[in-house]
Amino acid sequence: MQDGIAENIRVAKKTDQPDILIVDDQLSLLLSLQALLQINGYRVELAEGGSEAITKLQDADYQLLLLDLQMPGIDGLEVLDFVRQAKLDLETIVVSGETSFTSIKDAMRLGAYDFIRKPYNPEELLTTVSRGIEHYRETRRGLQTEHSLGESEQLHRFIVNNSPDFIYMLDAQGVFTYVNNIVEDLLGYKSNELLGRHFSSIIHPHNATEMHNFFSEQRAGDRATRSIEIRLLVNQSSERVQSLDSSELIVELNAMGIYEENEAGEKIFVGTLGSARDIAERKSSEEHISHQAYHDLLTQLPNRTLFDDRMKQIFAHASRNQQKFAMLFMDLDRFKLINDTLGHVMGDLVLQQVSERILGCLRAEDTLSRFGGDEFCLLLPDIPSKESVAAVAEKILKAVRQPFSINNHELYLSLSLGIAIYPDAGKTGEDLLQSADIAMYHVKEKGKDGYCFYTDSMNYNSNFLSVERDIHSALEKKQFQVFFQPKVDPYSHMIVGMEALLRWQHPERGFLYPEDFLDVAETSRLMVPIGSWVLRRVCEEIVRWQKQGLPAIKVSLNVSPIQLKQADFVESFIRTLQEFKLQANHFVIEITEFSLNSGEQGVIKRLRELSNYGVSVTIDGFGRGPSSLSYLQDIPVDTLKIDRSFVREIEEGQNRTCIADGIAMMAKGLNLNVVGTGVENLHQLDYLRNLGCHEVQGYLYSEAISAQETLSLLKNRPNEGPHFILPN
């Protein structure tokens, strides 16, 4: 009775303590996870490393442990081993970038309940955490119920017969003397069918001899069998066998020898007491976790981790047998146009169908991987000739060129494909991948929709210099253009601002977006003159709007880290505004979180100077950077811009919390404005409006349009102010 009261007091005390302990050696990740979980109602404590985690686990009780594997000093596996040896009452979810087969297997063996790979999907993490908490509470309820049943023999027999585990007793010769009723559900045997039979009749023949010894364990105490996996045979003649999944069952076995004293006081072995737990669900969960760790969730193709593992095997085989193999790097042509015009849901469907078509062109031994976005990489082992690789490339290109019919849209696509042959184009995986990428880029330059073999005459430097030369020419020949995308009040649908976006009308490569050339522009520092040109063009357009008598609206300019690091950036910016006689409050500077990660004081100082002058500062794509919380009080930020990937998570008919909720709550607490980007439908608009977003952008209202189209849009309904009319 006193024990029961003590237990109730302990449980009551536990409910006042934090639900979750998060363990990681990266403080930024700890704070980000803490914010996400606290927003969703969980009580959280943090441990920065394995040593601090063990200390806190000794001092307090938790329901759930979120644990990184790779940490200096005491790593995640050592923490798991401590939890197991200390017999702590909690569930563990591994949140780690360590995705090797061995690490996952070791974590599950040490008692991990589930696994989430970094970088994690916030929705998946919240679902897994909820499932872990519920599993912990169900287990606790079961233990408390069992404790309350008391010590009577009748109740003990009831517990044994209704246990989900197969419980058995053997005599000294290994003959069943007792089995509980669950054996029929698990193996298809009635209990009386096994009584009097030798246990070997249900042991799978492929089990080694030691498995027989484990099942009929004679040892007791610490040396007895603990948590050994063993396969048992299912009764094939049972009427229930149709409902069982296979001819065997994998169980986790615990067994111990039973001894009695004879008249001489000697202990005599009289049999074995054992229990076998069905772990099919756990094995399935392990397989599911392993699959997620090594496959792309959208296409189910191998991801980069599994691709690298397969590549190592192919390298070893090719080197040993003096064979050649091919690596093909593929990129969909103009895929961004599909996302921009039809939305990302359509883009995802396209990627799934493209992967299926490519797979239809391959052998069983070939490996196709999605590297992210619209990039795919293919390994063709043991190739007989260069011509055979060309034939595969042509087959893939032909398959992708066939029209796609998706959601009443007929789409025509093409691929640019670069090929690298081992060992001619490289003797390491990195070298081959770079060679295939360079060859693919040559296809892009020549008009796309084709393939090209890598040759020594191709190299990254020559391509870099070519793009750098073209950018110089573009500035001289005025090939760059400024487009504008409206920012809209989600309540009145009035246009309240514009975002200036750079475009390049290349004479050979066609219409280019910033992602097609910004890397070269940043590296070559050409982003500085480009940024100055964009500012002047924007000023010219604002003056043009003023002369038309249009209402004043703010214009946002995206500023790169290279520009912010220029000592004269602020002076040049202000001088340009003064030249055009424009007020600073017409302008907004948009910067990414990655621009601030270095924490350079010069960058922060320039942002403060611009803010003091009257220019607003917005963090673009908020939530994507690794340090979303640490700098907000150090710089003069006015607005947070929710990244379009988080807005895309908002789906009609799904009652769930999105990352956008947390960002909006954080912004409200810091007294900041919130802008939602990538709004594609009315449900997303309503959701963001309810979150308190002050402005929104997206294809629901308008894509980015030319300067002339922008002027026409702003002149629309001038008496009421430029605005949109949406369908009900």
pLDDT tens figures, 378-428: 999 999 888 899 999 999 999 999 999 988 888 889 999 999 999 988 888
* Block residue for tokens 């409910």: 15
The 8 Å CB, 24+ separation contacts for 442-445 are 442/418, 443/416, 443/417, 443/418, 444/331, 444/333, 444/416, 444/509, 445/508, 445/509
- Across residues 438-455, what is the average pLDDT? 85
CB 436 within 8 A of CB 451: no
581 sits in which H/E element? none
Contact 425, 432 (CB under 8 A): yes
pTM score: 0.45
Question: Which of 426, 457, 458 has the alpha carbon at shortest distance from 444?
Answer: 458
Q: Which residues pair with 422 in a beta bridge?
A: 325
Secondary structure (DSSP) of 369-423? EEEETTEEEEEE-S-S-HHHHHHHHHHHHHHHHSPEEETTEEE---EEEEEEEET
Tens of pLDDT, residue by residue over 190-212, are: 888 888 889 988 888 776 566 77
pLDDT band at 239 (very low <50, low <70, confident <90, very high): low
When the pLDDT of each residue in the chain is averaged and rounded to a whole number, the result is 84
* Residue 674, beta-bridge partner list: 640
For residue 168, list its beta bridge partners.
Answer: 179, 274
Q: For 59-108, what is each residue's pLDDT tens digit?
A: 899 999 999 988 899 998 999 999 989 989 899 998 887 666 677 778 88
Q: What is the DSSP letter of 111?
A: T
CA 630 – CA 597 distance, rounded (Å): 9
**What are φ and ψ of residue 388, in 5° steps?**
-70, -35
Whether residue 543 is predicted with pLDDT greater than 70 in this model: the reply is yes
Could you give all domains of the chain from N- to C-terminal order, each with its CATH number?
Answer: 2-148 (3.40.50.2300), 160-285 (3.30.450.20), 296-458 (3.30.70.270), 480-714 (3.20.20.450)
Mean pLDDT of 263-276: 88
* Neighbouring residues of 606: CB distance < 8 A, sequence distance ≥ 6: 564, 569, 570
As a whole number of angstroms, the distance between CA 640 and CA 645 comes to 14
State yes or no: pLDDT of 310 exceeds 80: yes
Question: Is the bond into 423 cis (omega within 30 degrees of 0)?
Answer: yes
Token reading at 60: 């307090």
With a cut of 90, say whether residue 628 has pLDDT above it. Answer: no
Where is 697: in which H helix or E strand? none
